[in-house]
């Protein structure tokens, strides 16, 4: 049973990609196709961030190790969906016109934090392998704490880009804050 856990999570994680590909191929994106792809990929990036952050608390809660076995894979899906999201914006929305993209990054704070989050995902993706884990030793753990910063930047990006409807972004913000709160090592803080 455990044997099928990781492959099943992999297959499930590709479903959002299959859904958006289907919508693109069969012209089912609605009246604002670029917006639809941006929103879909952006939201799934945030969902995968939440799932990645939830694995350690689930391990503690259930005393089962298999949750952390899929954490790395879920983290790679964060990068995958974030890159699709960025590519939609850079390639489809702006057709690779670098000057207006650059202007957006420096002038719009929600683009700035989104872009910063994506940049921070690069070192995590490059060092995600077992080999890099062994090579970087203690520094690997420190480096991979960047996922907390990425999670905060990602949820801020969503709050700042939503001009009127705050409900959904705030839900993610609360979930992420709660998941980060669970990671605080109170024993270490209070024993000092």
**Residues 108-147 contacting ligand HEM, CB under 6 A:** 111, 114-115, 117-118
Rounded CA gap, 11 and 7, in Å? 6
What is the Cα–Cα distance from 81 to 70, expressed in whole angstroms?
A: 17
Q: State how far Cα 66 lies from the chain centre.
A: 21
Return the residue of 45, 144, 173, 176 that touches ligand HEM, per CB under 6 A.
Answer: 45
Alpha helices in the chain (DSSP H): 5-25, 33-62, 66-69, 71-87, 98-107, 109-126, 130-136, 138-143, 146-161, 167-183, 186-190
Under the criterion CB under 6 A, does residue 42 sit at the interface with ligand HEM? yes
Based on the shown chain and the rule CB under 6 A, indicate whether residue 38 belongs to the binding site for ligand HEM.
Answer: yes
If binding is defined by CB under 6 A, does position 84 make contact with ligand HEM? no
Decide: is 77 part of the binding site for ligand HEM (CB under 6 A): no
Is 89 one of the binding residues for ligand HEM (CB under 6 A)? yes
Helix (H), strand (E) counts: the chain: 11, 0
**In the range 161-180, which residues lie near ligand HEM by CB under 6 A?**
161
Interface residues toward ligand HEM, by CB under 6 A: 38-39, 42-43, 45-46, 49, 82, 85-86, 89, 111, 114-115, 117-118, 150, 154, 157-158, 161
């Amino acid at each position: 049973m455990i044997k099928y856990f990781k492959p099943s999570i992999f297959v499930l994680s590709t479903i959002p990609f299959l859904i958006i590909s289907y919508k693109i191929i069969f012209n089912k994106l609605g009246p604002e196709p670029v917006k639809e792809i941006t929103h879909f990929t952006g939201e799934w990036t945030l969902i995968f961030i939440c799932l990645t952050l939830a694995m350690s608390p689930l391990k503690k809660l259930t005393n089962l190790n298999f949750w952390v076995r899929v954490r790395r894979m879920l983290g790679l899906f964060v990068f995958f969906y974030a890159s699709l999201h960025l590519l939609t914006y850079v390639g489809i929305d702006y057709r690779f016109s670098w000057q207006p993209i650059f202007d957006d990054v420096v002038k719009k704070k929600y683009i700035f934090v989104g872009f910063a989050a994506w940049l921070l995902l690069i070192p995590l993706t490059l060092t995600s392998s077992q080999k890099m884990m062994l090579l970087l030793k203690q520094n690997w753990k420190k480096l991979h704490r960047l996922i907390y910063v990425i999670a905060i930047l990602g949820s801020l990006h969503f709050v700042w880009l939503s001009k009127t409807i705050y409900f959904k972004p705030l839900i993610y913000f609360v979930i992420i804050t709660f998941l980060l709160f669970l990671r605080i090592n109170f024993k270490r803080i209070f024993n000092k």
